[in-house]
Amino acid sequence: MKLVFILDPLESLKAYKDTSLAIMREAASRGHQLFVSMQHDLFLRGDLAKIYAKKFSFSQHSYSLEPAIEYQPADFDAVIMRKDPPFDNEYLYSTYLLEIAVNQGAKVYNRPSAVRAWNEKLAVSRFPQFAPEFLVTSHHDLILEFLASQQDIVLKPLDGMGGSSVFRLGVQDPNISVILETMTQFGTKTIMAQRYLPAILQGDKRIIVIDGEPLAYALARIPKAGETRANLAVGGTGIAQLLSARDKEIATKVGQVLKRHGLFLVGLDVIGDYLTEINVTSPTGMVEIAEQTSCNPAQLFVDALARQ
């Protein structure tokens, strides 16, 4: 296959743990051709979707790139969008360009219209039977009412990743007003509030779903001492563990819906028995699972991609 990956700058990727690079290594080991692009390499020439891409190959200790060439996305067997959030206007424009490319014959994973439609925080509202109590608003009075009813909550921006700007808030917190002012930008920015789940101490489980099927193992991200957030980006420790019966129930039912919407690679976040986020942009955790178990998520991803 001829594959192009839309990535963050290569120098910013952590080679020892990056999921995109793990997938690329697996694809390269099978003889597939690899190309890389950045978000701003997508463009329109008239009504035709175009992309600048550089042929990529791994070397013994690094990688090599050939000069960029102009292609149509449909020239590739798969366009794999792995740009990290935030999901800002530039990300939004990329989904529009990629959707035009799909209409011109390109195969893009994940489907651009679905990435646009499935906000990673709001998507849990599609599965209320699995979600903890939550509220989405910019109104301080509504958040204060929710806090009074739940006593202990977590506040999240709708466009972040890696635990950035996530706050735990209790009814006795002396900084309630300033936290709400900061997060909502004085009532002008919509955020999510969720009931705090004490099971976070046993791990925020990342369940990887590939083409509708969950892996057998989740990556439980354990928060470091004194920290509410379990994200690896803020010092959490990742421990691979078999899915529980509840994990399987959530991931199987959600996975069936994801597949119908063209969401090929997704990371579900589950705390205890509750679904808290659905990551559709650039879910991670493959390397840690592969290192700790007999499961090779990158291999399963390339297998599934080949079947497409």
Burial of 25 (0-12, 13-18, 19+ CB in 10 A): middle
Identify the active-site residue in 50, 159, 279, 288.
Answer: 279
Say how far apart CA 261 and CA 39 lie, in whole Å.
23
Identify the active-site residue in 206, 211, 231, 288.
Answer: 206
**Contacting residues for 263 by C-beta, under 8 A, at least 6 apart:** 110, 111, 114, 115, 118, 280
Identify the active-site residue in 121, 159, 195, 211.
Answer: 121
Identify the active-site residue in 18, 195, 221, 247.
Answer: 221
Say how far apart CA 258 and CA 252 lie, in whole Å.
10
Q: Is 8 a catalytic residue?
A: no
Q: Is 156 a catalytic residue?
A: yes
Q: Is 253 a catalytic residue?
A: no
Amino acid symbol at 215: L
Identify the active-site residue in 50, 82, 156, 195.
Answer: 156
Identify the active-site residue in 204, 247, 277, 288.
Answer: 277
**Interior angle at CA 237, CA 250 and CA 241, nearest 5:** 40
CA distances from 155 to 109, 166, 184, 252 (A): 30, 6, 10, 28
Q: Is 30 a catalytic residue?
A: no
Q: Is 260 a catalytic residue?
A: no
Identify the active-site residue in 26, 229, 231, 288.
Answer: 229
Dihedral sign from CA coordinates of 197, 198, 204, 209: negative
Q: Is 77 a catalytic residue?
A: no
Q: Is 279 a catalytic residue?
A: yes
Dihedral sign from CA coordinates of 259, 263, 267, 269: negative
Could you tell me if 195 and 222 are in contact, meaning their C-beta atoms sit under 8 angstroms apart?
no
Q: Is 269 a catalytic residue?
A: yes
Burial of 40 (0-12, 13-18, 19+ CB in 10 A): exposed
Helices 176-184 and 140-150: crossing angle, nearest 10°?
A: 130
Catalytic residues, by residue number, are 121, 156, 206, 221, 229, 269, 277, 279
